[in-house]
A and B are shown apart, each in its own frame.
Chain A
Amino acid sequence: MVERTPLLDIFTYVFLIVGILIVGFPIIYSLIAATQTLEDVSKVPMPLIPGDQFLVNMQEAWSRGDLGTQIMNSFIMATGITVGKITISILGAFSIVYFDYRFRAVAFASVFCTLMLPVEVRIMPTYEVAANVLGPLQAVWDFLHLNAVVSWFTTNEFELALDWSLLDSYTGLILPLVASATCTFLFRQFFLTVPEELCEAAKMDGASPMTFFRKILLPLSKTNIAALVVIEFVYGYNQYLWPLLVTTNPKMTTAVIGLQNLIPQADDLPEWNLALGAAILVMLPPVLVVLFMQRWFVKGLIEKEK
């Protein structure tokens, strides 16, 4: 600090500790609750000394909530979204920055506008698309009266009926969330800062566009990719509304949604020890990812939102 302010320093640390405790309190308290017996957890106030029922509670919550399946589903969804998002964004950005073609500006603008359309504002129609992904194609087909055209050509009665439902499938959980304007935008910004000489040199050496991408651009983007992996994994794992809509089969539900069934309702036994134990288990994967990849996380967070 600039000057000596012993009193203020003490205050600083005191407030910091209080702040950390307030932020950490819900977790600490839930952890303690997860170690108690049903009898202890329903005492008011609950004893603050941890009990010895932690493993028992975890086991019970694990089997009752079918957490194994659901956490697996969450993992698949989060990984799918992360990999898909980064792949299509980096390819898209490469196309926009390193090629000159007629629809370049249109393509960029159309991707960029999706920034304003989070899934929450188009719930019903997106659900309808998920119920039949080929629906839009079918609509265009019908609109152009192509059935009649094909019938006329083949002199047979022809009826095209496209139907491919994504409901209750991993594809349905992942695909609609894979398009991302922010990721594309981030890669575009980064590619613009890559020195021109690299591309010129590569071209002089006779490298094809894809060789340049693989051998030069991809290695350069490593830190950006790492940062985005952390952010998108957390994003994908914590999705709520979309999995709630597309899955009805409990075997396909994600962990965050499955937790709802463990919350004690008014007439149930107040088994908060199970609910909170399960909640802590479910939140663990993204929390660990953020803690262990903190550097990438902070970088990703700040760069992505800029």
Chain B
Amino acid sequence: MIKRSFFKSKYIPYLLILPQVLITLTFFYWPAIQGLIQSFLLSDPFGRRSTFVWFYNYIELFTDPLYLKSIMITLVFSMLVAGVSLFLGLFIATMANRALKAKAVVRTMLIWPYAVAPAISGILWLFLLHPSYGVVALGIKKWLGIDWNPVLNGNDAMIMVTMASAWKQISYNFVFFVAGMQAIPKSLIEAAAIDGASPLRRFWAITFPLLSPTFFFLSVMNIIYSFFETFGVIHTVTQGGPGGSTNIMVYKVYQDGFVGLNLGSSSAQSVILMSLIIVITVIQFKFVEKKVQYTG
């Protein structure tokens, strides 16, 4: 799209867009293409020679139980993070929407975790859930009688990184849910109340369906967040361990490529992740445009 009235100039528009295009070409397209080429090559550990091996790297990956496990872990992890943070975000937003007088204060008190870096959120939760010093860990051991030890137990470690990742996402979801609820016409709620619908019924019959576009959008955003930005959490809290039980795909790309120097495999993993995010983005654009809404 372009304005009806526009300027004509031989060189100004090119100069204006040049920095953007240069950076995009150097740091986005070039590396993406290099990654794609690299994923078809097999290089020796010293990076001196590389041979073209077609889909060898991909076949290796999809027959590697460790990689399949990493995919599973990523899926479980992103579902958990999205589920926990969406549920709590929606719950708190519903409450905040009812508390008319305290809305501004509540928002201020809930908004700031968004500004905390995932890695720092990881440190805070590492302390809370530390098997020997953590107070929450103590509570779990004492009251639930579970032998909590995220250093040794994979499931416990997964719960720990989920908590650390979901925590800061609650405020993100909260902001969007509150904005979504404010956009719902008051008259709808009032009409339902006059018809005798209880607050709970009104929530399920009116608020929630009307929030469904927000809900869908947030699910996508939360999944993308847990796919990529949680790198900081994993790196500070578990480093993928114990025994690879929190080794999500992004972390494995880093581990295999940067630490293990297995360029071909790491690039192939990057390409797989890239295709994944392209699929997610396309789905998002397709559905968000159409606006998911309730029928009947």
| A16 in contact (CB, < 8 A) | yes
Chain A residue with minimal CB distance to B35?
A125
In the complex, the answer to whether A19 meets B91 with C-beta atoms within 8 Å is: yes
Instruction: Mark B193-235 against chain A: 1 for CB-CB distance below 8 A, else 0.
Output: 1000001000000000000000001000100000111011001
Beyond A12-B98, A122-B35, A275-B123, whether A283 also contacts B270 by CB under 8 A is no
Stretch at the interface among B53-61, B65-73, B75-83, B107-115: B107-115
| B132 in contact (CB, < 8 A) | yes
In the complex, the answer to whether A26 meets B199 with C-beta atoms within 8 Å is: no
Across the interface, A15 reaches (CB within 8 A) one of B95, B107, B112, B179, namely B95
In the complex, the answer to whether B26 meets A238 with C-beta atoms within 8 Å is: no
| A178 in contact (CB, < 8 A) | yes
In the complex, the answer to whether A23 meets B30 with C-beta atoms within 8 Å is: no
In the complex, the answer to whether A45 meets B138 with C-beta atoms within 8 Å is: yes
| B140 in contact (CB, < 8 A) | no
In the complex, the answer to whether A45 meets B135 with C-beta atoms within 8 Å is: yes
Task: Point out the residues of chain B lying under 8 angstroms from A12, CB to CB.
Answer: 95, 98-99
Task: Point out the residues of chain B lying under 8 angstroms from A247, CB to CB.
Answer: none
For chain A, give the interface size range.
Answer: 35 or more
In the complex, the answer to whether B170 meets A196 with C-beta atoms within 8 Å is: no
In the complex, the answer to whether B133 meets A263 with C-beta atoms within 8 Å is: no
| B38 in contact (CB, < 8 A) | yes
| B149 in contact (CB, < 8 A) | no
| B189 in contact (CB, < 8 A) | yes
Chain A residue with minimal CB distance to B178?
A298
In the complex, the answer to whether B31 meets A16 with C-beta atoms within 8 Å is: no
Q: Main SS of the interface on chain A?
A: helix
Of residues 133 to 188 in B, which have CB atoms within 8 Å of A's CB atoms?
A: 133, 135, 138, 151, 167, 170-172, 175-176, 179
Of residues 103 to 126 in B, which have CB atoms within 8 Å of A's CB atoms?
A: 106-121, 123-126
In the complex, the answer to whether A302 meets B176 with C-beta atoms within 8 Å is: yes
Task: Point out the residues of chain B lying under 8 angstroms from A136, CB to CB.
Answer: 25-26, 30
Chain B: minimal CB distance from A97 (Å): 6
| B6 in contact (CB, < 8 A) | yes
In the complex, the answer to whether B7 meets A98 with C-beta atoms within 8 Å is: yes
Of residues 239 to 293 in A, which have CB atoms within 8 Å of B's CB atoms?
A: 240-241, 244-245, 256-257, 259-260, 263, 266, 270, 272, 275-276, 279, 282-283, 286-287, 289-291
Across the interface, A291 reaches (CB within 8 A) one of B32, B112, B229, namely B112
| B52 in contact (CB, < 8 A) | no
Instruction: Mark A180-217 against chain B: 1 for CB-CB distance below 8 A, else 0.
Output: 00001000000110001001100100000110100000
Task: Point out the residues of chain A lying under 8 angstroms from B102, CB to CB.
Answer: 13, 16
In the complex, the answer to whether B111 meets A33 with C-beta atoms within 8 Å is: no
Chain A residue with minimal CB distance to B121?
A26
Of residues 240 to 296 in B, which have CB atoms within 8 Å of A's CB atoms?
A: 250, 253-254, 257-258, 263, 266-267, 270, 273-274, 277-278, 281
| A219 in contact (CB, < 8 A) | no
In the complex, the answer to whether B199 meets A5 with C-beta atoms within 8 Å is: yes
Chain B residue with minimal CB distance to A130?
B27
Size of B's binding interface in residues, CB under 8 A: 101
Beyond A123-B266, A234-B114, whether A245 also contacts B217 by CB under 8 A is no
**CA A128 to CA B257, docked complex, whole Å:** 12
Across the interface, A129 reaches (CB within 8 A) one of B26, B127, B217, B270, namely B26
| B92 in contact (CB, < 8 A) | yes
Task: Point out the residues of chain B lying under 8 angstroms from A282, CB to CB.
Answer: 117, 120
**CA A13 to CA B94, docked complex, whole Å:** 11
In the complex, the answer to whether A3 meets B193 with C-beta atoms within 8 Å is: yes
Task: Point out the residues of chain B lying under 8 angstroms from A298, CB to CB.
Answer: 107, 111, 175, 179
Chain B: minimal CB distance from A136 (Å): 5
| A46 in contact (CB, < 8 A) | yes
Chain B residue with minimal CB distance to A234?
B115
Jot down 15 A-B pairs with beta carbons below 8 A, ordered by A: A16-B99, A23-B167, A42-B133, A99-B2, A99-B9, A107-B20, A122-B274, A124-B253, A124-B263, A125-B31, A238-B232, A240-B232, A245-B258, A259-B119, A301-B175
Interface residues of A, Cβ cutoff 8 Å to B: 1-3, 5, 8-9, 12-13, 15-16, 19-20, 23-27, 29-30, 33, 41-42, 44-46, 87-89, 91-92, 94-101, 103-104, 107, 110-111, 114-118, 120-129, 133, 136, 175-176, 178-179, 184, 191-192, 196, 199-200, 203, 209-210, 212, 234, 237-238, 240-241, 244-245, 256-257, 259-260, 263, 266, 270, 272, 275-276, 279, 282-283, 286-287, 289-291, 294, 297-298, 301-302, 305
**20 new A-B pairs (CB below 8 Å) besides A256-B119, A301-B176?**
A29-B127, A30-B127, A42-B133, A44-B138, A46-B135, A91-B20, A96-B17, A97-B3, A99-B6, A114-B24, A116-B274, A123-B254, A124-B266, A125-B30, A126-B31, A191-B3, A212-B7, A294-B108, A298-B179, A301-B172
Interface residues of B, Cβ cutoff 8 Å to A: 1-9, 12-14, 16-17, 19-21, 23-32, 34-35, 38, 88, 91-92, 95-96, 98-100, 102, 106-121, 123-128, 130, 132-133, 135, 138, 151, 167, 170-172, 175-176, 179, 189-190, 193, 199, 217, 221, 227-229, 231-232, 235-236, 250, 253-254, 257-258, 263, 266-267, 270, 273-274, 277-278, 281
